[in-house]
Structure 1
Amino acid sequence: MPQQEETMNVREVVTTLRKRFWMIVLVTLFFVVASAGITYLVMTPVYQAKSELLVNKSQEGNKPGTISRNDIESNLQLIETYSVVMKSPRVMDKVAQKMGEPNRTSALTGQINVSAVKDSQVISIEAKDPDKQRAAKLANTVAQTFQQEIVTIMNVDNVQILTEAKANAIKAPVQPKPAVNLAIAFVIGLIFSVACAFLLEYLDNTLKTEEDIENHLGLPVIGSIAVIESDDKTSVHSLKERQTHVAAAGENS
């Protein structure tokens, strides 16, 4: 019995999906088209430029041109500190001045991301901006300013610029991502449309079939009235007219 009920439930689900198939397709398509319009027409493309710093120039107590293991370990420990210092007001205030935007220190700080390259002495500086040239300029300005300021801030000179950001090397924007946005819109649209289909089916309390009557009223169906189409109605009307003529002819005789 439970297996039969489960089979019937699955059948009802399939029936509902087939019944509302075009509604599901149209609603899902609407979400995808709306997402595409917002992605390509409303959202502003954002580009990312990257410059890199190398922390390895500590030679105190060593022969020129040599780096000890202690120096490497010390530099690795300093990288996390450098990442914090790089986004501090001490550095970013001067970056804002060099960018010609002295009142946008906080905004410029939010546009950069500083991270250490795993298992290396390299610090990556990523800058995002709607303009390629400006993104590259911001990344390079942060790198150059930090290299200059760290000498006085921590009294060390072990940082050098490894890679400068170049605007012509930026091929495509990092935001928005059309493929991701369209995929998300498709999933959301599909879930929403299927939910609406089942909601409409749940709210529809009309009885359409004999099975509906038996299920909702618990009464057996003992008879049904067929629907007479237009052609059938014409045939019935003609039959009644012939019967009338026959009856009239019988009376006259």
Structure 2
Amino acid sequence: MEETISLQDLFKTIKKRMSLIVGLTFLAVVIAGIISYFFLTPIYQSSTQILVNQQKAPQQQQQYDSQDIQTNLQLINTYNVIIKSPAILSKVIQNLDLDTTPAELTKNITVTSEQNSQVVTISVQDPESFRAVDIANTTAAVFQEEIKTLMNVDNVNILSPAIQQENPSPVKPNKILNMAIAGVIGLMLGVGIAFLLEYLDTSIRKEQDVEDLLQLPILGLISPFPENKDVDVMTNVKSRRKKV
């Protein structure tokens, strides 16, 4: 006989193991909260923006046309690579006396630019908020100076330097998100274990279990006899014996 599980059986299993499911979910959330609040190092982020434009000689000053802007946009892709190159980051490390290498520092720097925009954003992440500000500003300043030599152009201006905030908030870890993800994982794990325990439980509790196990139809049932009726019957028997 092919074994089938109805939707009602699924809900019964979940209801039966509800304490296990809730317990695992709560435990996962608590563990994620403890790790996020007490063990993970807060990471702060600071950003600075630079503007890439087309420098013209004073006698050639005129409005930029679409070709000039397109040229600048093409340069941005090259600049994004140069900013994170050892030629720039090695001097940033030297200026700030950082105990790291260009290869390690580049992991903490993100260079982005909006589509069809001449503005490039340099974002730096670091466990210390003040150091993130210093690295972002120094990277922009070093790049602005070194690009004159590397590409023989002077078309980079610092648009918005990074500023140290009084009470900065870390960007990582996202404690609430970590706890929410842990809650979902705990819930899924609890439901999975609940169904696994139900599947491994071979005890016989109802008539259908007997039919499935023996592959035979049930001919009759013995109704349960309430305990209070046993007491009443014994009392009546004893009373009758006394009367006799």
| Cα RMSD (Å) | 2.5
Match of 1:101 among 98, 101, 111: 98
Q: Which of the pair has more CA radius of gyration?
A: 1
Take 1:227 and 1:37, find their aligned partners in 2: how far apart are those partners? 53
Q: Aligned match of 1:219 in 192, 214, 217?
A: 217
Task: Work out which of the residue numbers 107, 124, 129 in structure 1 matches 2:126.
Answer: 129
SS at match of 1:206: coil
Using the aligned pairs only, state the percent identity.
37
After superposing on structure 2, the runs of 4+ consecutive aligned residues of structure 1 that deviate more than 6 Å are: none
Superposed CA offset, 1:132-185 (max 9, x none): 111111110110010011000111100010000012177421111122212211
Shift in Å, 1:223: 2.5
Q: What's the offset of the Cα at 1:22?
A: 1.6
Q: Please give the secondary structure, in 2, of the residue aligned with 1:44.
A: coil
CA distance in 2, matches of 1:232, 1:131: 77
TM-superposition CA deviations, 1:87-126 (whole Å, max 9, x none): 1111110011112126432222111101112221011100
1:204 aligns with 2:209: no
Correspondence 1:76 to 2:73: yes
Q: Report Cα offsets for 1:69-103 as digits up to 9, x if no partner.
A: 33221111000100101111111100111121264
Mapping for residues 222-233 of structure 1, pairs under 5 Å: 222-224=220-222, 226=224, 229=227
Does 1:195 pair with 2:192?
yes
Query: What is residue 21 of structure 2 aligned with on the other side?
Result: 24
Q: Could you give the per-residue CA deviations for residues 192-236 of structure 1, whole angstroms, max 9, x where no partner exists?
A: 11110100000001001123223332331413263664x555545
**Aligned equivalents of 1:215, 1:243: Cα separation in 2:** 46
Distance verdict in 2 for CA 1:220–1:234, change over 3 Å: same
Q: Counterpart of 1:211 in structure 2: which amino acid?
A: Q
Q: Which structure 2 residue ranges, 5 or more long, are not aligned?
A: none
Alpha-carbon separation, structure 2, partners of 1:18 and 1:112 = 50
Say whether residues 1:154 and 2:180 are aligned partners.
no
| TM-score using structure 1 length | 0.86
Cα 1:90–1:136 change in 2 (3 A) is: same
Q: Deviations over 1:23-65 (max 9, x none)?
A: 1111111111111111111111111100001001421596236
CA distance in 2, matches of 1:24, 1:199: 12
Q: Unaligned stretches of 5+ in structure 1?
A: none
* TM, length-normalised to structure 2: 0.89
- Give distance in 2, aligned partners of 1:169 and 1:116: 27
Cα pair 1:55 1:75 within 8 Å, conserved: yes
Q: Structure 1 residues 69, 169: CA separation in 2 closer, same or farther (over 3 Å shift)?
A: farther
